[in-house]
Structure 1
Amino acid sequence: MKLTLKNRLPSISSIFTELMISTKRFPAECVYALIGAFAALQLVRDDVLDSGNGIYWIRLLMLAAIAFPLNLSISLLLARRKTCSLGQFWIIKSLIAMGSIVFFFVLDPESYPQDFVHFWLLFIAVVLLVSFAAYLQDGDTLAWWHFNKILIIRLLTGALYSVVLGAGLSAAFATVDKLLIEMDWVYLRYMWVFIFTVFFPLYFLSGVPKRFDASLLIQHYPRGLKYFSQYVLIPLAFVYLMILLVYEFKILVQWQLPDGMVSALILGYSGIGILSLLLIYPIRNNHENAWIRSYSTYFYVFLTPLFVLLMLAVLKRVSTYGITYQRYLLLAIAAWLLFQIIYFLAYKRATIKAIPISLFLLALLINYGPQSAMSVSLASQKKILLRLFESEGLVSDGFLQPVAEDSIAVPTAVRMASSLMYILDNYHPEVLQSILPIDLEKQRDRISKDQVLAANNTNTYRNARYELNNQIKRDLHLDKFAYYGRFNQDDSDLLTMSYHFKSSSSTIDIRDFQYVIEQRPYPDSTQIDTVNNLPYRQSKDAQASTVTLRVGGVDYKFVVAEFIRQIVEKQPDQLKSYEISTPDQGFTKQYAIPSSSLRLSQKIGQLEVMLQLQDISFDYKKNKEITIHSARGAYLLKFNGDVN
């Protein structure tokens, strides 16, 4: 039968009919979609996040995001078994609803930031559950593949329809606002939320297959998918593989540990490769696809040496900086890849269903419990924090003591601040109570009762916690070092120091000079003045590292950046004697330097020009360019005879 445009594109009435069918087939899932829509609509209001109530809507949205795929998984599992009565069906759904309510009250990401990680891991797990719930005890891998193909195509189609619908309605909204009446743009946000939280999930549900056997599913292999796998994904995987194998050979020759970026490349190769294996599964054994069959056979063989490289790269970072939950996830994925390698190489009856099932189990395993990502990373960072303080003799009776900024190495202080910030950013501050001498609960209550804080902020709890985090950093004298965020020992030469040089005297000695020209911080290179009947103008380069005074036709250039680099790097002991120490200076160093040490001079022909710097602020990185923020001074001119 010849397909026409009418056959291929659904009508509005057919889409509406499908949506109605999905509400009858998946009533619980539709309810959770509406709950999520309601929560999302509340969140896009202008004032909700500042009011302090936004966290409840975020929790409700999280609940819906977890409950929707979980209910869908259970519905597919029960539909496949066909042994569940209507009463049993609703009992199971009621138990899930009660669990969701408990989840809502247990989840508190505002107090416990780690709950965001728990949510995402749980969300990934329940989404994976949808892919195999109906085939958990079914060995028909081909049926499972076609079932998921239908789900993915439906998902992509629904996303496309939603984007097109949203774009069209947005254009109509803007047209009405421009030509007819002024519209409140918050309703445009409501419209987009409604499309993606109501229309999109209901449209997706309407396309979920009702039949599960391979003989009853549509088994057509999409030609576009075949071309995409053959000519895009697999060649891309080969490119990654060649780069990584060459890099591994380089490591063996030079006998050095791998760079941290190699982890991303290996994960990229693994992800693309495994995705390719999943996509080409039905056609892997076709006679005309011999090279695809070879790819499927040897993929895990080539992955084995890359797994070793991945472990070296991850363990290098862990041994130096400890475990964060991101590094823990890398270790967990590496362990999962090892399982895949052993499973597919050693087990002759291996099935690709093991990929989502094992990922599902992994997500659950690393989410909660003493072995979870957040528990292990907290223990690791607390241990590192204690070790750093102990190495400086700053632990007394098990409690951390304030850092003495003038007697501690800058990289050490930054590493202390980095570990402390990681804990405060990802956990409730009270996880540090056992190693801090202050009572954090009393501090939090005191801050919460602060009248000024309450008057200036609507979300008192959030700001109280923010202030408590800052108080902890101040009490340990790490607040200035925390500015530099996450720190790697490899980057110790890249630490930025801020300097402020000023002349020890505000008076400029002009003896032996005839003219003084103020050095403008923002010179207009087009403005021309005269001195001794000669035109002059000032200019500087984009980074202010070089300033120029052009007198007549001669340029007097002063490389200020190189001048101050010489002072910082070549005269450190002398510079130390000029330092103005302050209790909270951190990375900002101030110096009062004799005027005679802040002079640059040039003589060309009969004219001598000296730049007298009075005040200069700049950032300095070892072996890197100096960034000048401001400079103030004067040009002193001395004419020796006629220079015309």
Structure 2
Amino acid sequence: MKGLSVEKAFHTVTEAFQNCLKRFPVTVAFIFAFTAYLIHLTSISWTGEERLLFITGYYLSVGILLSLTLHLWSEEVKSRMWKTGIQLAAHALLIADAFLLYRYLGTESSWIEIGIAHTAAILTIGLSTFFLSFLREKNDIASWNFALNAVSSFAVTQIIGLILWAGISLLLFSLHQLFDIHFSGKCYAYIYYLCSITLALILFLGLLPQGEDKHNRAPHSSEFLNGIIHYLFLPLTAGYLTVLYMYAARILVSWELPTGWVSWLIVALMTVCIAIQFGLYPARLENNKRFDNWIARWMPVLILPLLLLMTIGIVRRFNDYGITVNRLYLATLNGWFYFVCIGLFAIKARRINWIPISFAIIFLLTSALPVNYAGITKNVILNEIKAEMQRSCQAKAPLSLQQYEEWMYSLPEKQAIRINSKFRYLNSWFGTESVTHLIDRNVTYNLYSVAADTETNAAPAGTDSGKVTYSGAIDSQTNISVPKGYTRFIAIPSDGMSSRFLTIPRQYLENGILPVSLDTRTDNLNDSAYIELSTLEMLEKNSKHGHIPPTSFRCNSPKNLFMLTAFDIHYEKNSDEDIRMSIKGYLFKK
């Protein structure tokens, strides 16, 4: 019996390899090409033109997903010419997109707009893998069974790949320990690529159901899944509903507007609701229990009034703070929630695939078209700034730093803060190029210091009765662009230390500008950066989770510009002790 089991297992693995080669030839080719690409990159230590490396990896990885989706769809199409034409057109579009993306990354334009568009497109391709082959089905059981099988097969094959990689790595490490045979770290990376990418994905493709198994229309409910839904998810949903209805009653009694946090609680509630709909679907069709059918249809009705809280909260944020990309997407998500709740009630939750399909379509339409949310946000904010400049600014654009500061100081404090924050938002989200037709590039490096000067009535962010402390650091994923006109840079500190620690005489607190020695030299002069204390205060005040944006400061040499990436400063208000400070950043040189 044991021999038969081993033989059967070997036969299953062999059959899986042969099956995927016949069924998914283009996908297999992309998998081998992607693996070879990763091995090549590791062998050259990931050096080379960053744009080309990124685009090649993007094309090969997305090609795997796109070809898999097209192969699964083509199995449902009888016309050979039709499915061949669609596949060729889709891959031609992917190649064209890779070339356009390569050229786009060579410019200084912001990646936000094109990045969101590509995220929406890749999400749509990924979801179509589960649904595109089942559009003609009378219900969603076949696609549900296929999706469950695909997800579980992917998880199992990834675990197999990781176990195999760990086992081979342990064997190589043992050879090193026992026989002093050395293997470089790259060898372990090669083994990981072969096991967790090539082998795992080939096995996954071979295990995907086909033919009648692919269109398995028999509902199969899971006792484990039903238990999780009935004894964990449903009580959790009841807790969300109770808290939100109690909050709604409280704000009605006190006649106040909901806070912004309620939107995220409703997003969590709707996420759990949709998960319950998918989890209960096969059990409802198999057992037809009255309670499950009641939950599927009437739970969205119970949630529907709570969506008004989210709507009111979003409208309040728009009125108080204006338009942003995040708020537009959140408002659209709120509208989609109405659509989902009303739709589930109207059709008695008989179909559920339309929920993720509609989400992907809306996300794609609002992100990938020429008129999209990122572009709308940028244009609206720019128009608001231009209208204010026409009304109150006497100088002609683009404004110099002095002209910009004079304009800000001429405005009422709240208006100056609002306009400056709009410039900062555009500069942060859409890049310097989005505002340089209105203000000089030099102004974009000083937006935070201008904000610190205009917010004259703001209390110091890091002060108490005696001690003043400010600190912050950029996020590890932040990209730092080289300012225009600068050709090289030096990391500060340049001696390999984590930060440059220094003491600054207390007398410089009077004018609020701290001369910070950088321990480098330019034209026989010691380099120093002039850091405004008010700017450090503003950076900490506006930091998110301690993260600050890279901030530029002028230097004693006009050929240099210092960009701060981390800082920590301490001093006593009622003391004669000097200022203790640590900094980290980059000194750019012309």
Q: Distance in 2 between matches of 1:100 and 1:27?
A: 18
Cα distance, 1:428 vs. partner?
4.9
> 1:415 and 1:21, CA in 2 relative to 1: closer, same or farther beyond 3 A?
farther
Cα distance, 1:210 vs. partner?
0.9
> 1:416 and 1:138, CA in 2 relative to 1: closer, same or farther beyond 3 A?
same
Q: Distance in 2 between matches of 1:202 and 1:430?
A: 45
1:162–1:200 contact (8 Å) kept in structure 2: yes
**Residue 24 (structure 2) pairs with residue 78 (structure 1):** no
Question: Aligned match of 1:496 in 453, 456, 461?
Answer: 461
1:162–1:195 contact (8 Å) kept in structure 2: yes
- Which residue is equivalent to 1:456? none
> 1:128 and 1:256, CA in 2 relative to 1: closer, same or farther beyond 3 A?
same
- Which residue is equivalent to 1:480? 449
Q: Distance in 2 between matches of 1:298 and 1:101?
A: 47
- Which residue is equivalent to 2:498? none
Please say which structure displays the higher CA radius of gyration.
Answer: 1
Q: What pairs up with 1:47-66 in 2 under 5 angstroms?
A: 47-48=45-46, 51=48, 53-66=49-62
Q: Distance in 2 between matches of 1:98 and 1:68?
A: 14
Question: Aligned match of 1:430 in 430, 433, 436?
Answer: 433
Q: Distance in 2 between matches of 1:166 and 1:414?
A: 55
> 1:173 and 1:219, CA in 2 relative to 1: closer, same or farther beyond 3 A?
farther
Question: Which moves more between the two structures, 284-293 or 260-269?
Answer: 284-293
Q: Deviations over 1:440-469 (max 9, x none)?
A: xxxxxxxxxxxxxxxxxxxxxxxxxxxx7x
- Which residue is equivalent to 2:160? 161
Q: Deviations over 1:143-178 (max 9, x none)?
A: 222222222222222233233334434444444454
1:367–1:373 contact (8 Å) kept in structure 2: yes
Question: Aligned match of 1:580 in 508, 511, 514?
Answer: 511
- Which residue is equivalent to 1:562? 465
Structure 2 residue matching 1:435: 3-state secondary structure: coil
Question: Which moves more between the two structures, 169-178 or 227-236?
Answer: 169-178
Structure 1 residue matching 2:447: 3-state secondary structure: coil
1:66–1:123 contact (8 Å) kept in structure 2: yes
Amino acid across the alignment from 2:317 = R
Q: Distance in 2 between matches of 1:257 and 1:329?
A: 21
Question: Which moves more between the two structures, 207-216 or 306-315?
Answer: 207-216
Structure 1 residue matching 2:351: 3-state secondary structure: coil
Q: Distance in 1 between matches of 2:181 and 2:389?
A: 64
Structure 1 residue matching 2:183: 3-state secondary structure: coil
Cα distance, 1:22 vs. partner?
0.9
Structure 2 residue matching 1:562: 3-state secondary structure: coil
Amino acid across the alignment from 2:89 = L
Cα distance, 1:352 vs. partner?
1.0
Q: Distance in 1 between matches of 2:164 and 2:569?
A: 51
Cα distance, 1:325 vs. partner?
2.6
Question: Which moves more between the two structures, 203-212 or 427-436?
Answer: 427-436
- Which residue is equivalent to 1:464? none
Q: Distance in 1 between matches of 2:416 and 2:381?
A: 15
Q: Distance in 1 between matches of 2:302 and 2:368?
A: 33
Q: Distance in 2 between matches of 1:299 and 1:185?
A: 53
1:311–1:331 contact (8 Å) kept in structure 2: yes
- Which residue is equivalent to 2:546? none
> 1:22 and 1:279, CA in 2 relative to 1: closer, same or farther beyond 3 A?
same
Cα distance, 1:308 vs. partner?
1.2
Q: Deviations over 1:486-521 (max 9, x none)?
A: xxx9xx9676368xxxxxxxxxxxxxxxxxxxxxxx
**Residue 150 (structure 2) pairs with residue 151 (structure 1):** yes
1:399–1:434 contact (8 Å) kept in structure 2: yes
- Which residue is equivalent to 1:103? 97
2:448–2:539 contact (8 Å) kept in structure 1: no
Cα distance, 1:113 vs. partner?
0.9
Amino acid across the alignment from 1:588 = S
Q: Distance in 2 between matches of 1:166 and 1:400?
A: 59
Unaligned runs of 5+ in 2: 469-508, 515-529, 543-567, 578-590
Aligned length: 483
> 1:32 and 1:330, CA in 2 relative to 1: closer, same or farther beyond 3 A?
farther
Cα distance, 1:296 vs. partner?
0.8
- Which residue is equivalent to 1:465? none
Amino acid across the alignment from 2:314 = V
**Residue 425 (structure 2) pairs with residue 404 (structure 1):** no
Q: Distance in 2 between matches of 1:44 and 1:214?
A: 38
Q: What pairs up with 1:413-452 in 2 under 5 angstroms?
A: 418-436=421-439, 438=440
1:211–1:217 contact (8 Å) kept in structure 2: no
Structure 2 residue matching 1:140: 3-state secondary structure: coil
TM-score (norm 2): 0.70
Aligned Cα root-mean-square deviation (Å): 4.1
TM-score (norm 1): 0.65
1:154–1:204 contact (8 Å) kept in structure 2: yes
- Which residue is equivalent to 1:14? 12
> 1:332 and 1:136, CA in 2 relative to 1: closer, same or farther beyond 3 A?
same
Amino acid across the alignment from 2:65 = P
> 1:170 and 1:255, CA in 2 relative to 1: closer, same or farther beyond 3 A?
farther
Cα distance, 1:301 vs. partner?
0.5
Q: Distance in 1 between matches of 2:413 and 2:184?
A: 52
Q: Distance in 1 between matches of 2:316 and 2:58?
A: 35
2:297–2:348 contact (8 Å) kept in structure 1: no
Q: Distance in 2 between matches of 1:5 and 1:472?
A: 76
- Which residue is equivalent to 1:640? none
Q: Percent identity?
A: 19
Structure 1 residue matching 2:184: 3-state secondary structure: coil
Question: Which moves more between the two structures, 122-131 or 152-161?
Answer: 152-161
Amino acid across the alignment from 1:21 = N
Question: Aligned match of 1:32 in 25, 30, 33?
Answer: 30
Cα distance, 1:124 vs. partner?
0.7
Q: What pairs up with 1:460-479 in 2 under 5 angstroms?
A: 471-474=442-445, 477-479=446-448
- Which residue is equivalent to 2:65? 69
Cα distance, 1:105 vs. partner?
0.8
Question: Which moves more between the two structures, 203-212 or 581-590?
Answer: 581-590
1:480–1:585 contact (8 Å) kept in structure 2: no
> 1:133 and 1:175, CA in 2 relative to 1: closer, same or farther beyond 3 A?
same
Q: Deviations over 1:62-113 (max 9, x none)?
A: 22343333322222222123x122x554443222221111010112463441
Structure 2 residue matching 1:33: 3-state secondary structure: helix
Amino acid across the alignment from 1:324 = T
> 1:210 and 1:628, CA in 2 relative to 1: closer, same or farther beyond 3 A?
closer
Q: Distance in 1 between matches of 2:540 and 2:99?
A: 49
Q: Distance in 2 between matches of 1:142 and 1:91?
A: 30
> 1:272 and 1:16, CA in 2 relative to 1: closer, same or farther beyond 3 A?
farther
Q: Deviations over 1:264-310 (max 9, x none)?
A: 21111111110110111021266684432221121211221222112
- Which residue is equivalent to 1:199? 199
- Which residue is equivalent to 1:354? 354
**Residue 257 (structure 2) pairs with residue 257 (structure 1):** yes
> 1:304 and 1:564, CA in 2 relative to 1: closer, same or farther beyond 3 A?
same
Q: Distance in 1 between matches of 2:94 and 2:327?
A: 30
Q: What pairs up with 1:257-336 in 2 under 5 angstroms?
A: 257-284=257-284, 289-336=289-336
Structure 1 residue matching 2:153: 3-state secondary structure: helix
Q: Deviations over 1:160-215 (max 9, x none)?
A: 32333344344444444544333322333343344443233322221222125787
- Which residue is equivalent to 2:477? none
2:117–2:364 contact (8 Å) kept in structure 1: no
Q: Deviations over 1:400-444 (max 9, x none)?
A: 5534289478877665565444433443543334434x5xxxxxx
Structure 1 residue matching 2:465: 3-state secondary structure: helix
Amino acid across the alignment from 2:139 = D
Q: Distance in 2 between matches of 1:418 and 1:22?
A: 54
